Chain A
Amino acid sequence: MTAMPHCEDAAEYVSALADGETIPSPFAQHIGACTACQARLHHYLAMGAELRRVASLDADQPVPALSIEKRRTTRSVWKKGLETMRIPKYAFALLVLAVVVLASSLTVIKVGAHSSGSVLMLKLTGPDGVSHQCFIDTTRKDYPCGMFGQMGGDSVGLMFRVQSRDEDRIQLGVQSKAYPIGTPEANHMGDSVVDNLPQVQYSFEVGQVLKIDIEGLGALSIAGEWTDHVPVLPEQGANHLDPAPDQVRILSPLLLKDNQVVGDMEGGMTEVDGRSQVVWVNYENVGRFLICSGPMKGAIQATSFLNRVSFRIDGHTYVMVTGAPVSRSEKLWVLYQPDFGVPDGTNTFITEGDLKQIAPEAVLPENQPRK
């Protein structure tokens, strides 16, 4: 026969009863017959009720706004031709964070490749024969590579994800869309479009070439190799700090007006080659700056030295500070258009294109392209 437990033995089970738990029978019997244990149970229940009452008083307290950074995605935007690639607002928001804008003629420098690396570098070659790179960090969930831009005569959006990996064999998820340039859809190619597309799975072995068919575009060749990291500036000429002749490179530009910061495009970058090409930097509430290695109608001459472009407009001193040398030449031309309106309302972005297409009114008769 089992002895009846004492109060001190039963106390822990009184607590469990207060939590709605069932308890062993001998303790249940003792508690049922013991006024001290029942008093303890009532105390526990009252304490819980009082705590919940106090907590309820906090329910209406306002909480501070959440401050989170958008999760990083490796992205690339390539090719020139802004008139056909007005990147939608959403894409611009990401552009400020992590987008690299590529000139298609850029020399590609491979980062240290390792067969055992965890970052997959994809080399994508479209029907136009031009290759582009993107990087997928397989150690991080949902770290896709997105690419948006002009390829051949199409505005193309591509998103790649590594779904699984077995040594060099991977399962590659691809979302893609291509619209002919000139169509309304082509003007709004971006993450929001591609993210909603069905994902097609491909088995892909690193070291081999995978050819896939992109509807509306044609064959896309995909080659891959492992690297040990995602480059800070994927495919950008980071290994060539010295700009090429007539090249203008604007990387993460900070704009100062009379020594006050009036615009910050952290993470945005682009570059152009040739005097017919311009960099377009648009700062919200400041306006549009077109920067060219050659003269433009209405432009003022600026001084370029290392990572700074300095100029004066209407008695104000402007300095654009960037993350890399801007130009080989000390002379650049800047056309400032404070009232330029962007059709889709996007106000802070950086891109590039042909001057004749971006600002035909600024083309000088003698400004012949020298590409």
Chain B
Amino acid sequence: MFDDRELWKQISAGNADAFETWYGETAPRLRSFLHHLTGSEPAADDLMQETYTYIWRRPDGFDPDRGTLRAWLYGIARKQAAQWWRKQRPADPLPDDRPARALAETNSILADAFNRLPPDDRALLWLREVEGHSYAELAAMLDVPIGTVRSRLFAAREALRDVWHSPAPMKGGRS
């Protein structure tokens, strides 16, 4: 098991085997992140490929002194997802394959609520709650002060809490 510095040394030297090993270790979780961020498995797969290709093509891109390789990976993926969202036309139906999956597989009301949050809130909450990135890492990823990370996380949690606790739409008239 390499530490970030040694692993990156191998990758930046063009060691495709090391890169593919790292891909195998990190891709499943990154894909999950991108899937929940975009709502589309094909989009998640495309963005994941673009993310790793981006990294592979930039042997100068990562500086071990400025953070972890995993934080850098997720930062790039988040940006790729943000670009993807910008390309979605407002008139396009959202490519959302999550609700069916949420009901069929996750059976989670909260997951459904999460998927209705704005993408930025989703990304931030996921990176914090699931991936466990520190405030400092999130600040570096988002290029904002740590205080802003704290306030944005709070806002995202409140948004999720509101959606989670909002009553389901009533069917029929009032009794």
Q: What are the 8 tightest A-B residue pairs by CB atom distance, in nearest-first order?
A: A58-B32, A15-B154, A48-B129, A71-B14, A12-B154, A63-B27, A50-B110, A55-B130
Could you tell me the distance between the alpha carbons of A44 and B160 in the complex, rounded to whole angstroms?
Answer: 9
- Secondary structure at chain B's binding surface: helix, strand, loop or mixed? helix
Is there an interface contact between B16 and A18, defined as CB atoms closer than 8 Å?
no
Give chain A residues whose Cβ lies under 8 Å from the Cβ of B59.
71, 140-142
Give chain B residues whose Cβ lies under 8 Å from the Cβ of A61.
28, 31-32
Give chain B residues whose Cβ lies under 8 Å from the Cβ of A68.
16, 19-20, 52-53, 56
Could you tell me the distance between the alpha carbons of A44 and B35 in the complex, rounded to whole angstroms?
Answer: 23
Shortest CB-to-CB span from B15 to chain A, Å, is 10
Is there an interface contact between B35 and A58, defined as CB atoms closer than 8 Å?
yes
Shortest CB-to-CB span from A274 to chain B, Å, is 37
Is there an interface contact between B12 and A19, defined as CB atoms closer than 8 Å?
no
Could you tell me the distance between the alpha carbons of A178 and B150 in the complex, rounded to whole angstroms?
Answer: 61
Give chain B residues whose Cβ lies under 8 Å from the Cβ of A48.
129
- Chain B residues at the A interface, C-beta cutoff of 8 Å: 12-14, 16, 19-20, 23-24, 27-29, 31-32, 35-36, 45, 48-49, 52-53, 56-57, 59-60, 102, 105-106, 108, 110-111, 114, 125-126, 128-130, 135, 150-151, 153-154, 157-158, 160-161, 164
Give chain A residues whose Cβ lies under 8 Å from the Cβ of B111.
50-51, 54
Give chain B residues whose Cβ lies under 8 Å from the Cβ of A15.
150, 153-154, 157
Number of interface residues of A (CB under 8 A): 35
Is there an interface contact between A63 and B161, defined as CB atoms closer than 8 Å?
no
Name B158's contact: one of A11, A52, A141 (CB within 8 Å). A11
Name A19's contact: one of B60, B153, B164 (CB within 8 Å). B153
Q: Would you call A66 an interface residue if the criterion is a C-beta within 8 Å of the partner chain's C-beta atoms?
A: yes
Give chain B residues whose Cβ lies under 8 Å from the Cβ of A141.
12, 59-60
Give chain B residues whose Cβ lies under 8 Å from the Cβ of A16.
150, 153-154
The 24 listed contacts between A and B (C-beta, < 8 Å) are A12-B150, A12-B154, A19-B153, A40-B161, A43-B161, A47-B110, A47-B157, A52-B130, A53-B108, A54-B106, A54-B110, A55-B126, A55-B130, A59-B32, A60-B28, A63-B23, A63-B28, A63-B31, A63-B48, A66-B49, A68-B53, A70-B16, A71-B16, A141-B60
Chain A positions 42 through 86: 1 when the CB is less than 8 Å from some CB of chain B, otherwise 0: 011001101111110111110110111011010000000000000
Q: Would you call A21 an interface residue if the criterion is a C-beta within 8 Å of the partner chain's C-beta atoms?
A: yes
Give chain A residues whose Cβ lies under 8 Å from the Cβ of B27.
63, 66
Q: Considering the complex, give the chain A residue whose CB is closest to the CB of B115.
A: A54
Name A51's contact: one of B19, B130, B151, B153 (CB within 8 Å). B130
Q: Considering the complex, give the chain A residue whose CB is closest to the CB of B16.
A: A70
Is there an interface contact between A59 and B16, defined as CB atoms closer than 8 Å?
no
Could you tell me the distance between the alpha carbons of A15 and B138 in the complex, rounded to whole angstroms?
Answer: 15
Shortest CB-to-CB span from A199 to chain B, Å, is 12
Give chain B residues whose Cβ lies under 8 Å from the Cβ of A142.
12-14, 59
Q: Considering the complex, give the chain B residue whose CB is closest to the CB of A51.
A: B129
A129-143 interface (Cβ within 8 A of B):
140-142
Shortest CB-to-CB span from A34 to chain B, Å, is 16
Known contacts being A59-B28, A68-B19, A142-B14, is A19 close to B161, with CB within 8 Å? no
Is there an interface contact between A66 and B105, defined as CB atoms closer than 8 Å?
no
Known contacts being A44-B157, A73-B14, is A12 close to B151, with CB within 8 Å? yes
Could you tell me the distance between the alpha carbons of A21 and B153 in the complex, rounded to whole angstroms?
Answer: 12
Q: Considering the complex, give the chain B residue whose CB is closest to the CB of A23.
A: B150
Could you tell me the distance between the alpha carbons of A54 and B129 in the complex, rounded to whole angstroms?
Answer: 11
